Amino acid sequence: MTIKTIRWMTMLPLLVLAACRDGGGPKAMGTLEIVEVDVAPMQPARIVEVRVHEGDTVRAGQVLAVLEQPQTQGQVPLGQAQVSSARARLRDLEAGPRAPEIERAEAEVRMRQAEAERSARETERLRVLAEAGAVSRQQLDNSRAATTAAVAQRDAARENLRLLRQGTRAAQVEAARAEVAGAEATLQSARETAGELTLVAPVDGVVMLRAAEAGETVAAGQPVLTLGDPRRPWTRVYVGQGVLPALRVGQTVTARLDAFPDRTFRGRIASLSPRAEFTPRVALTEDEREDLLFGVRVEFDDASGMLKAGLPLTVDLPAREPRP
């Protein structure tokens, strides 16, 4: 989502500073604007549903639209399964070998030991027979090879039993913990991706523009909706060098709508431009077109709802104090 201020008029607002003819302070005419917020996805997606319409009032956190990406639909369940598997393996390693596993390994050692002893006895018997010429040399060699294999299997079973009795190595446990952390990070990423496909209102406001409809595919950063905050209208007026010294940030000013000249609205000067600009082309006189003006941003707190974007208004500015 990107926040920006959008002008309501295509040309520079009608902001003209003129001397007050009835002896009062200077006045500046401007056009009201409001802060607007574009609500857009962080990645390309297809819109499934848009839940609000233009003119609807929304609250911060309210779901505005739901989007989807086919390639990401199964990522969260897959991530959950991977986390469960990694955690189960870690628990198994941390618990170490169980008593039945050790008993099974001990039985394996006894079996391999008996086989090695039997094979050794058979080899010795064939050796005696081979010396007497009762069996071939090949039979004796085969028996010796079988005895060697049986001894190797017995030694392997003994080593396995020794490792089981020692328990799980610390490196294996650390590797399993790292696997759990990686699976959890992948799951969190999948959840964040899924969350980005649900557009929520970042602020309280009013739906100013519904720019896309269900079924459309939008690019990353492409606005789906535009919200406006009508509680914070503002305008920018321009003043000349004769008025600027009397103004300061935070100063209170009053303004009037053209349609309600008898009603005043209080505002405050939010910023003063540090650099002069050429007078807008909408200036009223030739003399004003030759002047350089400074931009002044005036913000209002409007609880009445009368200050609508696009309305022209006149701002009463403080007069410069006369020199003694």
Q: Per-residue pLDDT tens for 257-281?
A: 988 888 889 999 999 988 877 655 5
Handedness of CA 16, 19, 23, 26 (dihedral sign): positive
Domain limits, CATH 2.40.30.170, in the chain? 2-69+205-316
Whether the predicted pLDDT of 18 surpasses 70: no
249, 324 Cβ separation under 8 angstroms: no
Domain limits, CATH 1.10.287.470, in the chain? 75-189
Whether the predicted pLDDT of 207 surpasses 50: yes
For helices 75-95 and 170-196, angle between their N-to-C axes, nearest 10 degrees: 160
For helices 137-166 and 99-132, angle between their N-to-C axes, nearest 10 degrees: 160
Closest CA to 232 of 144, 302, 297: 302
Q: Give the span between the Cα atoms of 77 and 82, in whole angstroms.
A: 9
What is the residue-averaged pLDDT of the chain?
79
pLDDT at residue 137, rounded to an integer = 84
Comparing 207 with 86, the larger pLDDT belongs to 207
Of 1.10.3720.10, 2.40.30.170, 2.60.40.1190, 3.40.50.740, the CATH number of 2-69+205-316 is: 2.40.30.170
pLDDT class for 52, splitting at 50, 70, 90? very high
Whether the predicted pLDDT of 152 surpasses 80: yes
Quick: pLDDT tens for 104-150: 888 888 888 898 898 999 888 888 888 888 888 888 888 889 999 98
Where are any strands of DSSP class E within 40-111?
A: 45-50, 57-58, 63-68
pLDDT at residue 59, rounded to an integer = 93
CA atoms within 13 A on the CB side of 72: 18
- Domain with residues 75-189, CATH architecture: Orthogonal Bundle (1.10)
